[in-house]
């Protein structure tokens, strides 16, 4: 093809001949192939710092990171890790010319991508959102993103740790991509590093016009009604950080119907139609309630 993008999605990578020693998902989950995140996608000031050169107080702040993360509250805790600029700029034993460890290094900005090993990803138990704060450069240098924010009321600026949001976890029901973040990207640079060979395009159409990952998942499962229930479930969790009850999921379906005319919630007749398939709700043995219980078991088991 005339132009090859610098990074590809999970779907687009099907347009390449991959010379991996393992299937794609296994290569990712064994940390052979790293996920890529474009530097230009970073928010704020895009301040990436080498881990080995962080200020001493940054390491002190990192001691408060949770060892395991299973809930959105843990993510909030990670996002709340910070240290005050005053604490790294002033210490009793500070001497001019001996600032190593007392100041943050110059941020790294001359890179195209940061990389994430699968083993460094943590997943929220409820929302299934994937995050990472231990990042790497192309050569394996360990880095982190810290956001320097000006404080109000006269306090010194603070540095806040900024994890990357990698999207929601793909269900293990998807045999091809299950267990991966749905926003997974791969740089051409990383693919060529792992294989030791230039990439070879075998299907430029899938690279130019890739089908959506959601469409691919729907085709695999073959159940539009449950697909939409899953999507509305995820929308509810992202908004409320809790698991919806049956009635709350119905309310979310109503909200989603505003922008999706394939959803019809008929409260008068107590039916829900999705893509012309109709189910009753309101009693435990009705079709929608059975689907709700099935979905709750499925998502709780992930």
Q: What is the pLDDT of residues 72-119, one digit of tens each?
A: 555 556 656 666 544 443 333 334 444 455 678 889 988 999 999 999
- The reply to whether the predicted model has a pTM over 0.75 is no
On whether residue 41 sits in a domain, the answer given is yes
Taking the C-alpha atoms of residue 153 and residue 86, their distance in angstroms, rounded to an integer, is 14
Taking the C-alpha atoms of residue 22 and residue 204, their distance in angstroms, rounded to an integer, is 23
- Specify whether 120 is located in the same domain as 261: no
- Give residue 179's region: left, alpha or beta (phi > 0; psi -120 to 50): left
Of 154, 184, 210, the last residue of a domain is: 210
Angle (CA) 197-202-205 rounded to 5° is: 130
DSSP letter string, 239-278: HHSS---HHHHHHHHHHHHTT-TTEEEETTTTEEEETTEE
Of the listed ranges 23-37, 53-67, 84-98, 127-141, the one predicted with least confidence? 84-98
List of residues 6+ apart from 242 with CB closer than 8 A: 126
Of the listed ranges 56-65, 73-82, 267-276, the one predicted with least confidence? 73-82
- Specify whether 116 is located in the same domain as 43: yes
- Specify whether 195 is located in the same domain as 291: no
- Specify whether 67 is located in the same domain as 200: yes
**Res 138: pLDDT:** 96
The highest-confidence range among 92-106, 249-263, 281-295, by mean pLDDT, is 281-295
On whether residue 73 sits in a domain, the answer given is yes
**Res 193: pLDDT:** 95
On whether residue 65 sits in a domain, the answer given is yes
What are the residue ranges of helices labelled H in 82-137?
85-89
Taking each helix axis from N to C end, the angle separating 246-257 and 287-301, rounded to the nearest 10 degrees, works out to 100
- Specify whether 146 is located in the same domain as 247: no
**Res 62: pLDDT:** 83
- Specify whether 241 is located in the same domain as 202: no
Contact 219, 175 (CB under 8 A): no
- Specify whether 28 is located in the same domain as 56: yes
Residue with tokens 């805790």: 77
- Specify whether 27 is located in the same domain as 162: yes
Of the listed ranges 40-44, 91-95, 234-238, the one predicted with least confidence? 91-95
Q: Identify the band that residue 155 occupies on the pLDDT scale cut at 50, 70 and 90.
A: low
Model confidence over 176-235: pLDDT tens digits?
Answer: 888 899 889 999 999 999 999 999 999 988 888 877 665 444 444 457 788 888 888 887
Mean pLDDT in the chain?
80
**Res 87: pLDDT:** 43
Domain count, the chain: 2
- Specify whether 138 is located in the same domain as 195: yes
How many Cβ atoms are within 10 Å of 291's Cβ, its own excluded? 19
Taking the C-alpha atoms of residue 238 and residue 235, their distance in angstroms, rounded to an integer, is 5
Of 170, 186, 210, the last residue of a domain is: 210
How many Cβ atoms are within 10 Å of 171's Cβ, its own excluded? 18
Q: Identify the band that residue 122 occupies on the pLDDT scale cut at 50, 70 and 90.
A: confident
Give the sign of the dihedral formed by CA 44, CA 59, CA 76, CA 138.
Answer: positive
The highest-confidence range among 71-80, 137-146, 170-179, 246-255, by mean pLDDT, is 137-146
**Res 215: pLDDT:** 45
Strand partners, 273: 264, 278
Of 163, 178, 210, the last residue of a domain is: 210
Number of H helices, E strands in the chain: 10, 17
Q: Which domain holds residue 49?
A: 7-210
Taking the C-alpha atoms of residue 20 and residue 152, their distance in angstroms, rounded to an integer, is 51
**Res 101: pLDDT:** 58
- Specify whether 55 is located in the same domain as 175: yes
Taking the C-alpha atoms of residue 232 and residue 247, their distance in angstroms, rounded to an integer, is 12
């Amino acid at each position: 093809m005339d132009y090859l993008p610098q990074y590809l999605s999970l779907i687009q990578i099907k347009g390449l001949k991959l010379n991996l020693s393992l299937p794609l998902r296994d290569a990712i989950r064994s940390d052979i192939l790293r996920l890529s995140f474009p530097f230009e996608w970073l928010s704020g000031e895009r301040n990436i710092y080498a881990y080995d050169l962080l200020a001493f107080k940054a390491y002190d702040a990192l001691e408060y990171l949770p060892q395991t993360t299973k809930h959105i509250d843990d993510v909030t805790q990670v996002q709340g890790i910070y240290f005050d600029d005053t604490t790294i700029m002033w210490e009793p034993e500070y001497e001019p010319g001996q600032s190593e460890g007392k100041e943050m290094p110059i941020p790294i900005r001359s890179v195209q991508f940061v990389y994430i090993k699968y083993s460094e990803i943590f997943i929220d138990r409820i929302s299934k959102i994937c995050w990472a704060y231990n990042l790497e450069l192309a050569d394996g240098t360990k880095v982190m993103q810290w956001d320097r924010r000006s404080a109000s009321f006269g306090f010194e600026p603070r540095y806040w740790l900024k994890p990357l949001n990698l999207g929601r976890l793909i269900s293990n029901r998807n045999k091809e991509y299950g267990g991966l973040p749905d926003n997974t990207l791969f740089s051409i640079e990383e693919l060529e590093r792992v294989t030791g060979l230039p990439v070879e395009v075998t299907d430029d159409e899938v690279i130019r016009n890739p089908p959506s990952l959601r469409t691919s998942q729907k085709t695999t499962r073959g159940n539009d009604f449950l697909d939409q229930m899953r999507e509305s479930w995820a929308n509810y969790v992202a908004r409320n950080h809790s698991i919806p009850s049956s009635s709350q999921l119905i309310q979310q379906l109503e909200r989603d119907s505003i922008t999706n005319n394939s959803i019809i919630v008929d409260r008068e007749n107590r039916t829900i139609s999705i893509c012309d398939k109709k189910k009753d709700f309101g009693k435990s043995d009705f079709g929608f309630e059975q689907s709700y219980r099935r979905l709750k078991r499925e998502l709780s088991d992930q």
